[in-house]
Amino acid sequence: MALADGGEPEAAATEAQAVIEASGDLASDRTAERARVVLRRLQDFEDVPEVRAVLDDHGHLLLA
């Protein structure tokens, strides 16, 4: 989130994608909640293509 807060949404999206993919199926409630926090923060930058791609790929986690 620091990257998004620091005005680097592209880098934040890249990091979020990597973390979510590395977390596998997000079986841990704590890991899943952390992913949701990051995805919610990225929604502020949904017009940035890299962010939009992450939200398209993993936005379903926000519905859980």
**Confidence (pLDDT) at 27:** 67
pLDDT in tens, 19-40: 888 776 666 778 778 888 889 9
Query: Tokens standing for 27?
Result: 């079986």
**pLDDT exceeds 70 at position 9:** yes
Q: What's the mean pLDDT when you consider all of the chain? A: 85
Angle at alpha carbon of residue 27, lines to 2 and 22, rounded to 5°: 50
Answering whether pTM is above 0.95, one says no
| Per-residue CA distances from 48 to 18, 27, 64 (Å) | 17, 29, 24
List the chain domain ranges. Answer: 2-17+31-63
